[in-house]
Amino acid sequence: MSPGILGKKIGMTQVFNKDGQVVPVTLLKAGPCVVVQRKTLTAGGYDAVQLGLVEFAKKSSLTKPEAGHLKKAGVEGVRFIREFKLNGGGNGDLKPGDRVLVDEFKPADVVDVIGTSKGKGFTGVIKRHHFKGGPSGHGSMFHRAPGSIGASSFPSRVFPGTRMAGQSGNARVTVRNLEIVQVDAEDNVLMVKGAVPGPNGGYVMVRRSVR
């Protein structure tokens, strides 16, 4: 049994459950994947499996180390590669070249989805940290400014982690405990309840929930 699967975000839609309630879901093109490398405590220092998403990939888009890594594993057509840590239970049968398909997941399973959030560029504190801002009157002179970031005499410095303007988004985000609503093994589509990070077409990791 694989600890997870790789895929792409297709988009959001909604379905009706048995009670007639509307359930918002995200469609994920999950797999097919192939095992690229199997790491163990003796060979690698930790127990993990490296999966690659099978899709069209030009050889020119791979670096020589990447091409050599895939050739050693005997796989091709792989561009997106990620690693899943193993807990040692029922995962020892995975070896390089094995395929991981979406039918390993079932409805009502709980998974964590990991992706890269949408990049919003350089933003201010109101958009980035949800500051309230100052009065909006014309004589205020303090509308969207961050305000004080520290005292001058002591400690005469800005503490690390102070919330200020800067790069927003484009970061690794994990959404935990999403329920699988439906599994389409024929089209390799996974339907999970709720939203997942990233834009449509963005790569995601789907792992079995760890909490």
**pLDDT reading at 191 higher than 90:** yes
Q: Are residues 64 and 140 in the same domain?
A: no
Q: Are residues 161 and 197 in the same domain?
A: no
Q: Tell me the per-residue pLDDT of 135-152, one tens digit each, with 9 for 90 and over.
A: 988 899 899 999 999 998
Average the pLDDT over 177-199 and give the result. 92
Q: Count of CB atoms within 10 A of residue 175's CB?
A: 17
Residue 24's pLDDT is 94
Q: Is-contact 79 58, C-beta < 8 A?
A: no
Question: Residue holding tokens 């969207």?
Answer: 144
Q: Are residues 29 and 125 in the same domain?
A: no
Q: Are residues 50 and 136 in the same domain?
A: no
User: pLDDT grade, residue 129 (50/70/90)?
Assistant: very high
Residue 120's pLDDT is 94
- What CA–CA distance (Å, rounded) separates 28 from 203? 9
Q: Is 84 helix (H, G, I), strand (E, B) or coil?
A: strand
Question: Residue holding tokens 């998403």?
Answer: 53
Q: Are residues 114 and 149 in the same domain?
A: no
Total of domains in the chain: 2
Q: Tell me the per-residue pLDDT of 79-119, one tens digit each, with 9 for 90 and over.
A: 888 998 887 654 557 888 888 888 889 998 999 999 999 99
Q: Is 74 helix (H, G, I), strand (E, B) or coil?
A: coil
Burial label, 200 (beta-carbon count in 10 A; 0-12, 13-18, 19+)? exposed
Q: Are residues 102 and 40 in the same domain?
A: yes
Please tell me which residue, 84 or 73, carries the higher pLDDT value: 84
CA dihedral for 167, 118, 33, 55, sign (positive or negative): negative
CATH number at residue 59: 2.40.30.10
User: pLDDT grade, residue 195 (50/70/90)?
Assistant: very high
Domain that holds residue 192: 4-118+174-208
Q: Are residues 107 and 130 in the same domain?
A: no
Average the pLDDT over 188-205 and give the result. 93
Name the DSSP letter for residue 153. S
How much is the mean pLDDT over the chain?
88
- What CA–CA distance (Å, rounded) separates 105 from 2? 9
Q: Are residues 71 and 103 in the same domain?
A: yes
Q: Are residues 86 and 183 in the same domain?
A: yes
Q: Are residues 181 and 196 in the same domain?
A: yes
Please tell me which residue, 57 or 40, carries the higher pLDDT value: 40
Q: Are residues 182 and 113 in the same domain?
A: yes
Statement: the pTM of the whole predicted model exceeds 0.75: yes
**pLDDT reading at 30 higher than 60:** yes
Q: Are residues 64 and 139 in the same domain?
A: no
